[in-house]
Amino acid sequence: MITGGLGFIGSNLAIRLAELGADVTVVDVLWPEHGGNIFNIEPVKERVRINICDIRDKYAMDVLVQDKDYIFHLAGQCSHVLGQADPYPDIDINIHGTAVLLESAKIKAPDATIVFTSTRGVYGSVAKLPVDENAVTNPKGLYELSNLTAERIVNFYGYNHGLKVINLRLSNIYGERSQMIHDKFGVVNWFIRLAMEDKAIKVFGDGKILRDFLYVGDCVDALLKETLDLMGIGGSRFMKTQDERSVLPVANVPTPATPRPLEETERVAETVTQERTGRGGIR
């Protein structure tokens, strides 16, 4: 079962699992602007079960988790910008929703392996690179804080109730099926849209801030490997590449439609001393 299974990463995971012959159930509430779309699973739509419901619905979760061997929990409020403006979706969906799902799993699917996808943002600003699991967590926004809290809830159900669980912290995933309708999250795909429309790409600061960009296909590979290798009942892993890149080269990758040279990229003259929270740039 995949919560958030019609969204960006969830749909890519659903397609991969269906192609491998798995019996897949996708659960999604199709929350506006969060990328959920039935078209995302078009290649396998006849081979998966689709349930449009909310992870906060205890009765729905009680039914859906039954007899599941693996539960990938990807559903959640995933916009840092929205979390800064309105705290309640993060608290209600990311924290409360995770607790509802795990309580149902404890009772109805105690032998299932549960994988929760969190965010690299739980580390906040860091003193040294590369970041690893031993770095101190210091989330700077409510979205990141709610994910860290959800991680702790996941670990609680592992340590106290014996569920097989793991938290996987993701970092700047890009690729097919990512939403491109707004710039609140999914920055690489937003850059691609701007390039396709031959519009200027705004970069805050000098563009030298480092980010770890991970292709969604590699993310799915890592999700499956970590799930199959899971031996313990808790803990967090940071999924990343070994190749941090600055933002400016990403903003200047040419496309067939817009072979833009470096000097055509619009830069915003603003010194960045910490992670940005504004719209339209890099976080």
Residue 130 has a pLDDT of 79
pLDDT at 232 over 70: no
Distance of CA 259 to the CA centre of its chain: 30
Contacts with 30 (C-beta within 8 Å, 6 or more apart), sequence order: 6, 36, 37, 38, 52
Residue 154 has a pLDDT of 96
Residue 207 has a pLDDT of 67
For the chain, give the percent of residues with pLDDT over 90: 55
State the average pLDDT for the chain: 83
Exposure class string for 19-33: b at 16+ Cβ within 10 A, else e: eeeeebbbbbbebee
Residue 224 has a pLDDT of 93
Residue 149 has a pLDDT of 97
Q: Which of 155, 172, 173 is nearest to 164 (CA)?
A: 155
Residues 267, 273, 276, 277, CA torsion sign = negative
Distance of CA 52 to the CA centre of its chain: 19
Distances, alpha carbon 73 to alpha carbons 76, 155, 215, 280, in Å: 9, 14, 19, 28
pLDDT at 126 over 90: no
Give the pLDDT band of residue 247 (cuts 50, 70, 90): low
State pLDDT tens for residues 195-229.
888 888 877 777 666 677 889 999 999 999 988 88
Residue 276 has a pLDDT of 33
Looking at the domain 2-174+213-238, which fold is it?
Answer: Rossmann fold (3.40.50)
Query: What is residue 58's three-state secondary structure?
Result: helix
Distances, alpha carbon 99 to alpha carbons 41, 56, 141, in Å: 27, 9, 20
Distance CA 159, CA 153 (A): 10
pLDDT at 278 over 50: no
Residue 252 has a pLDDT of 63
pLDDT at 66 over 70: yes
Per DSSP, what are the bridge partners of residue 114?
71, 165
Residue 192 has a pLDDT of 82
Residue 56 has a pLDDT of 98
Residue 34 has a pLDDT of 78
Q: Looking at residues 36-41, what average pLDDT do you find?
A: 94
Residue 279 has a pLDDT of 34
Catalytically active residues, by annotation? 143
Residue 2 has a pLDDT of 98
Q: Looking at residues 29-42, what average pLDDT do you find?
A: 90
- Single-letter amino acid, residue 134: N
Give the pLDDT band of residue 242 (cuts 50, 70, 90): low
Distance of CA 211 to the CA centre of its chain: 15
Contacts with 206 (C-beta within 8 Å, 6 or more apart), sequence order: 248, 267, 272
Residue 277 has a pLDDT of 33
Q: 73-87, 109-123, 143-157, 234-248: which range is least confident on average?
A: 234-248
- Enumerate the domain spans of the chain: 2-174+213-238
Q: Looking at residues 54-61, what average pLDDT do you find?
A: 98
